[in-house]
Chains A and B, each alone.
Chain A
Amino acid sequence: MSFVLEPTADPESVIVRIGKALDFRNAAEFKTVCQERVRTGARNFILDFSETGILDSTGLGSIFSLYRQVSPLNGQVVFASVSRPVQVVVQLTRTYKVFRQFPSVEAALEALS
């Protein structure tokens, strides 16, 4: 359940393809790979949830951790292509108040540029 991180034309922005799940099984890995990218200059993270069927409390906690890390650096964490199961979690937890959502990765990239 590894994540795919893709660079963008903007060196401060990174696309993270979340894949099938972000939960207690891989949340630590998510934190580690994202923290490493922050250390090397990334500030904006676009999380692509198009293939994601599971987002649990631990996965959400790891996203909060990333948000706390990049916010003081004027960075952003945004959601893109949010799947229906993830949308239910976002609605239930009101996290749409914290993370902007975009219909596609491309729309997110344009908004962040």
Chain B
Amino acid sequence: MDSVTRHFQDLDTLIEQVHALFDTWESEDYLPASMNVAMLYQLKIAVHEWLANLVQHANFENETTDVRLTVEPVEERIYCVIEDNSDGFVLDMHLEIEPEYLDSLPERGMGLLILKICTEDLLYQRSEFGENNRLEFYVSADQDQDAWLDTPF
């Protein structure tokens, strides 16, 4: 598998299209040899949570939606970039939220935590002019799952 980039312009079908893409890669054995099933599902979860965030909360007002997904194997890890042309988010504060600040069995507020813990080297850059917001992260087989969400549950 080489670096793959796909563009999506319909928010209403974005989730279905991306999952269909993953399903195609999985069924056609297109994924890199270094990517085990757990890594694939972690990648799917991370991408889904961010796209759900875009669909529900991003403001694409006065813009033709453009969401770009790039997936690239880098040594033993998977590098993923999701770019969009929304107004973006002020996200740093939210990514610093720790599980102990969540209520027990929370109904909302888990998405960014799940994204954070599923990934490594998570970085979000919001473009000053909103033309290219960029979320990037890695997924690896060595994810520290001991650090997972014990507290809320």
Contacts and interface: CB of A to CB of B under 8 A. Distances in A.
Nearest to B115: A57
Interface string A17-57: 00000011100000000000000000000000000011011
Interface in A56-111: 56-58, 60-62, 64-65, 67-68, 84-85, 88-89, 91-95, 97-98
Interface residues of B, number: 29
Interface string B122-153: 00000000000000000000000100111001
Interface stretch (B40-48, B60-68, B72-80): B40-48
Contacts of B81: none
B49 A56 contact: yes
Contact of B117 (A62, A88, A92): A92
Contacts of A23: 15, 48, 52
State the main secondary structure of chain A at its contact with B. Answer: helix
B52 A94 contact: no
What size tier do the contact residues of chain A reach? 20 to 34
B107 A61 contact: yes
B41 A94 contact: no
A67 B105 CA distance: 9
Given A56-B111, A57-B113, 18 more contacts: A24-B52, A53-B23, A54-B48, A56-B45, A56-B48, A56-B49, A56-B52, A57-B49, A57-B110, A57-B111, A57-B114, A60-B110, A61-B110, A64-B105, A64-B107, A92-B145, A93-B149, A98-B105
Interface of B: 15, 19, 23, 37-38, 41-42, 44-45, 48-49, 52, 55-56, 105-108, 110-111, 113-114, 117-118, 145, 148-150, 153
Interface of A: 23-25, 53-54, 56-58, 60-62, 64-65, 67-68, 84-85, 88-89, 91-95, 97-98
11 contacts: A24-B52, A53-B23, A57-B49, A57-B52, A57-B113, A64-B107, A68-B105, A88-B41, A93-B149, A98-B105, A98-B153
